[in-house]
Amino acid sequence: MTATTDGSTGALPPRAAAASETTEVTTPEAAGTVDTRDAAERAILRATDFLLSTQDAQGWWKGDLETNVTMDAEDLLLRQFLGIRDDETTRAAGLFIRGEQREDGTWATFYGGPGELSTTIEAYVALRLAGDAPDEPHMARASAWIRERGGIASARVFTRIWLALFGWWKWDDLPELPPELIYFPKWVPLNIYDFGCWARQTIVPLTVVSAKRPVRPAPFPLDELHTDANNPNPVKPLAPVGSWDGVFQRLDKALHTYRKVAPGRLRRAAMNTAARWIIERQENDGCWGGIQPPAVYSIIALHLLGYDLQHPVMREGLASLDRFTVWREDGARMIEACQSPVWDTCLATIALADAGVPADHPQLVKAADWMLGEEIVRPGDWAVKRPHLPPGGWAFEFHNDNYPDIDDTAEVVLALRRVKHHDPERMEKAIGRGVRWNLGMQSRNGAWGAFDVDNTSPFPNRLPFCDFGEVIDPPSADVTAHVVEMLAVEGLSHDPRTRRGIEWLLAEQEANGSWFGRWGVNYVYGTGSVVPALVAAGLPGSHPAIRRAVAWLETVQNDDGGWGEDLRSYHDVAEWSGRGASTASQTGWALLALLAAGERDSKAAERGVAWLAETQLADGSWDEPYFTGTGFPWDFSINYHLYRQVFPLTALGRYVNGEPFADRQGSFGRAS
């Protein structure tokens, strides 16, 4: 470690130290390169100090995970439903929700995005709970905008379910979700394992809610949110019978009829089976899957089945929700949809290693210790499809033993490989289990999804109930790339399973040279994930796929030297692909691809590095209000507050120090 000008310590990469002493400038071009390198070295020092200072004493990192105000609104509605809403919580939530309202009276789902109807309805109702009168200017603007767009009748199903809990919408006018679904064997279409794990954990408790159809006394009417007070629940016409939408709409009508004749004993048994399923999947911290929505609906379902609020399952479930709370300096209260300590910790470890922090640095060792302690060594829901696969992976959250994920497991292995640990045998065994588990989770097409194998049924997305976000978990380029990169580092570039992943990635490249980003925004993320993986697996920088990716990144670089991409690229590819205000995380992703492709000395890379150095704040961090993470493309967006730190530092470190594991890269494919 070397002292910085302010007396703090930073990890000056050895190559950087040597270069600063011996470089001789002979041309204007060389002068620019050296200036950029010097700026990058200084930025690395500041960013390293900042990131090291934010590590928890236990060894983990966690940035705030910011989504949208539906989390806060639904938290208040849950407390109202359970009869536990208090003045302080309501005041703090109202302060936060009010502060997120846009000038036109709406609420968006991401920074700078357009107003969104369901989000605006839920925020409006929450502010009514907080005491805001409907005739106040900010409320009147919101209700007018809601009516202009069809009112409550045009909201998504999940919003109308929340309103039905208080009689603001009729249960008869919601899609039916029978609890008997829990009995469908896994070979039957629309069994619960046809859904992605996040949807599965939400749907099972909602089958109970749908069967019970509870209605609590409404604290106020919502007439101002209907376009027609005399007909607040208009019936929508059915789609043509020959279409998939028409088929599933008629299936829903049949389920409504079945509800009237369903055998009472069967229905009660199904709800009790659902309750057991829910309770068996409650984590040690009281939550479900480490994410807020399944926890909320599970608490409601169990409450409807007679579990009182002092029951240990309920008590711990409610306590877990409090741990999703972020209190701000102004007294506002923001609810995280989930928390990302494993993901943040492995990314931070990689960033610091790339920055030149020694592999045996105490804070990296502590991070490795913590990650090793988070390994999941028991079967979870993934074992339904892979019953004979031994466990050994990592989840995203503090506690989520039922749902380790393939992406985190790959990145944790890559992070552990960067640390010199005092117990190498323990490290090797954990890495071996993680590699084995990831290989066992490969889908039939050669690629990898996030949580499950071959979770590609076309039917769940067709259900009228599923009108919000993704409900299946098909393989994606970004997850597959991270697995391929990990396998390459583990010396498995030539393994047939790795080759199948590489072939799938090459086939998935877009015509313009980019790759779609499922879990990050969007084509910049996909491309920034895939190119380093392909190069690590042995594809030369001259390979046509790599050259097309480089050319695309050069064409979408902003005039200021950075890269950015707006979430609207998920809806309007032609207009928004690779386009948006420059951000630190997305500039980092683009640079990771360029550097892996051998473009370290290119003008595009130099301009990107210069932008990162110029926009760094005095404390070594970067500011990034834009949402660059994805839960569901377009529908649910995330601002990972640590992304702005780890990805720029990783990119700057690789710019100065070169690519990691360069000596391990094999050869695969040739330029043609």
What's the length of the chain?
A: 672
405: helix, strand or coil: strand
Six token digits for residue 384: 């339904």
Contacts of 546 (CB under 8 A, 6+ apart): 531, 534, 535, 539, 540, 597
Structure tokens at 631: 């839960």
Query: What's the rounded Cα separation, in Å, for the pair 613 and 624?
Result: 14
For 466, the token pair is: 């599923």
The first and second tokens of residue 575, run together, are 């207009």
Whole-angstrom Cα distance, residue 45 to residue 13?
9
Half-sphere exposure of 125 (CA within 13 A, CB side): 33
HSE at residue 654, side-chain half, CA atoms within 13 A, is: 27
The whole-angstrom separation of Cα 551 and Cα 567 is 22
Instruction: State the catalytic residues.
Output: 407
- Yes or no: say if 154 and 116 are a contact pair by the CB < 8 Å rule: no
| DSSP tally for the chain: helices H, then strands E | 24, 7
Instruction: Provide the token pair at 15.
Output: 């190559």
Q: Name the amino acid, one letter, at 512.
A: N
User: Could you tell me the CA-to-CA distances from 189 to 153, 458, 462 in Å, in that order?
Assistant: 29, 9, 12
393: phi then psi, degrees, rounded to nearest 5: -150, -175
- 140's tokens: 């009147």
In this structure, are residues 368 and 346 in contact, taking their beta carbons and an 8 Å threshold? no
Distance of alpha carbon 19 from alpha carbon 11, whole angstroms = 15
CB 113 within 8 A of CB 567: yes
Q: Which CA distances in Å does 391 have to 172, 211, 369?
A: 43, 35, 19
Strand ranges across the sheet with 636-640: 65-66, 636-640, 629-632
Q: What is the DSSP track for 514-577?
A: ----SSBSSHHHHHHHHHHHHHHTT--TTSHHHHHHHHHHHHH--TTS-----GGGGT-HHHHT
The conformational region for residue 78 under phi > 0 = left, psi -120 to 50 = alpha, else beta, is alpha
- 2 beta partners: 10
